[in-house]
Structure 1
Amino acid sequence: MKKILKNKFSQLCNHVSKDYELYVPIENEGIVNFSRWEDEVNINLEIKTNTSPKNFVFPQSETYLKFKSEGKKLKIERVDEEREDYVLFGVRPCDAKAFNLIDHVFLREPVDRLYEEKRNKGVIISAACVEPEETCFCSSFDINPEELKNGSDIFIWTLENSIIWKPLTEKGEELTKKLEDILEDVNEKDLKELEIVKENIRKKIKELPLASLNPQTIQGDLNELFESEVWDQVSKSCLGCGACTYVCPTCHCYDIQDFDGQKNSLRFRCWDSCMFSDFTLMAHGNPRVNQKERFRQRFMHKLVYYPNNHGEYACVGCGRCIEKCPVNMNIVKVIKKLGGEI
Structure 2
Amino acid sequence: MYKIAKDDFPKLYAAMQNIGTLLLPCKNKSGHADFAPYREDAEVALDAPLTNRSAKDVFFPQVENLLTFKTSGKELALEQNVPPAGVTIVMGVRACDARSFKILDKVFLKAPVDTYYKTRREQCVLIGLGCSAPEETCFCHAFGIDASAPETDVQTWLAGEELCWQAVTAKGEELTAKLVEGGVLAEAEAASAKAISEQKEQTQKILSVLPLHDFKVNDELTKDELKVFNSKIWEQLAAGCLSCCTCTYVCPTCHCYDIRDYQ
Distance 1:56 1:172, change over 3 A: same
Counterpart-to-counterpart distance in 1, 2:223 and 2:126:
37
Counterpart-to-counterpart distance in 1, 2:156 and 2:215:
27
Equivalent residue number for residue 88 of structure 2: 86
Structure 2 residue 24 is the aligned partner of structure 1 residue 24: yes
Displacement of 1:220 in angstroms is 7.8
TM superposition score normalised by structure 2: 0.90
State the AA in 1 paired with 2:46. L
State the AA in 2 paired with 1:70. S
Structure 2 residue 40 is the aligned partner of structure 1 residue 39: yes
Query: Is the 1:136–1:210 Cα contact (8 Å) retained in structure 2?
Result: yes
Identity %: 35
Query: Is the 1:46–1:130 Cα contact (8 Å) retained in structure 2?
Result: no
Structure of greater Rg: 1
Displacement of 1:203 in angstroms is 1.5
Q: Which moved more, 1:231-240 or 1:115-124?
A: 231-240
State the AA in 2 paired with 1:187. E
The equivalences for 1:2-151 within 5 A come to 2-28=2-28, 29-47=30-48, 48-148=50-150, 151=151
The equivalences for 1:221-236 within 5 A come to 221-222=223-224, 225-226=227-228, 231-232=231-232, 236=236
Q: Which moved more, 1:209-218 or 1:29-38?
A: 209-218
Counterpart-to-counterpart distance in 2, 1:8 and 1:135:
33
Structure 2 residue 252 is the aligned partner of structure 1 residue 243: no
Query: Is the 1:46–1:131 Cα contact (8 Å) retained in structure 2?
Result: no
Give the root-mean-square deviation of aligned CA atoms. Answer: 2.0
Describe the superposition over 1:249-285 as per-residue Cα deviations: whole angstroms up to 9, x where unpaired. Answer: 111111110011xxxxxxxxxxxxxxxxxxxxxxxxx
Describe the superposition over 1:144-172 as per-residue Cα deviations: whole angstroms up to 9, x where unpaired. Answer: 00113xx3100000001110100001100
Q: Which moved more, 1:15-24 or 1:204-213?
A: 204-213
Counterpart-to-counterpart distance in 2, 1:142 and 1:59:
27
Displacement of 1:110 in angstroms is 1.6
Displacement of 1:57 in angstroms is 0.5
Displacement of 1:45 in angstroms is 2.2
Count how many residue pairs are aligned between Structure 1 and Structure 2: 256
State the AA in 1 paired with 2:120. K
Query: Is the 1:4–1:163 Cα contact (8 Å) retained in structure 2?
Result: yes
Which of residues 247, 253, 266 is equivalent to 2:256?
253
Structure 2 residue 190 is the aligned partner of structure 1 residue 170: no
The equivalences for 1:181-192 within 5 A come to 181-192=183-194
Query: Unpaired segments of 5 or more residues in structure 2?
Result: none
Equivalent residue number for residue 153 of structure 2: 153
State the AA in 2 paired with 1:139. H
Counterpart-to-counterpart distance in 1, 2:227 and 2:80:
43
Counterpart-to-counterpart distance in 1, 2:226 and 2:250:
29
The equivalences for 1:189-204 within 5 A come to 189-204=191-206
State the AA in 2 paired with 1:27. K
Counterpart-to-counterpart distance in 2, 1:59 and 1:199:
36
Equivalent residue number for residue 313 of structure 1: none
Query: Unpaired segments of 5 or more residues in structure 1?
Result: 261-342
Could you say what secondary structure the match of 2:252 adopts?
coil
Distance 1:214 1:3, change over 3 A: same
